[in-house]
Amino acid sequence: MEVLVKWVGGATVILTIGNLKIAIDPVLCDKGTVQDYFWFKSTRIEQPIYHEDDFENIDLWLITHNHEDHIDSKGKTKISKSSKIISNQNALRVLKDISSENLSVLHWHDAEEFELKDYTIEVEAIPAVHGVNPLSAFFAGRGNGYYLTVMKGDEQVKIYFTGDTVYKKRIIRSLRNRSVDMMVANMGAAKQGSWIMTLTLDAEMLQKMIAELDPTMVLPVHYGTFAHYREPAEKMQEIEDERIKMVAVGGKMKWSSGASKR
């Protein structure tokens, strides 16, 4: 299957597979916007880059958690009532004014299978542990990663969105013996070096994840966009692994998983 990837900035990614469009975590506030996370404030330092039609006809939205750098008021306006929406529990209060019969909540290890257009899609919620400090992770709340299997005829592609997490063995166990064609990894080492401690993947953790899960391709996102994303792109570029594909904000990339057969 061929996948067209567009990175809007932050955690916001749009995947197009044939006539199917899948998007995750719409955060579209302008550069200079200050967000308040109670323990700290953070400024958006890069402008999101997109065209209005990028968000037209989104078939499936994935919402990992309720933090404002993953879903904000401007981004929420791009979620159509006709879209299928998969969310974690704590994002419901953000989505409460989106009246959609197509909204499903998945807790860790829950899965749902459904049909969209000519595709069969299975989505499973994978644990996302939002911090190396257990106290910080507790107060940050449970987020979801998502493991998607998109199937059409005899072809399929398996995509793992890490969500905001750090490296934990429980995550690896959740994905043991599963193939990962594409891993969309939330990077940035958020709050690294502060008393809160690292909240998202850094380059070292990414290498461990790759070694354990053996994905065919890795797309790093969620770096550079906000001031609390501490680790720069250069750290990932130093990793000698041709499976890591870097895309600029607003950039697109075509990638093929090959003729993966069921």
**For the segment 41-65, what is each residue's pLDDT rounded down to a tens digit?**
999 999 999 999 999 999 999 999 9
Please report where in the chains the tokens 């880059």 appear, as a residue: 49
Integer Cα distance of 156 and 210 in angstroms:
21
- What secondary structure letter does DSSP report for 226? B
Contact 250, 9 (CB under 8 A): yes
Query: What's the pLDDT band for 259 if we cut at 50, 70, 90?
Result: very low
Confidence check: pLDDT of 168 > 70: yes
Select from 60, 64, 71 the least CA-distant residue to 35.
71
Confidence check: pLDDT of 135 > 50: yes
Confidence check: pLDDT of 257 > 90: no
Q: What is the pTM of this model?
A: 0.95
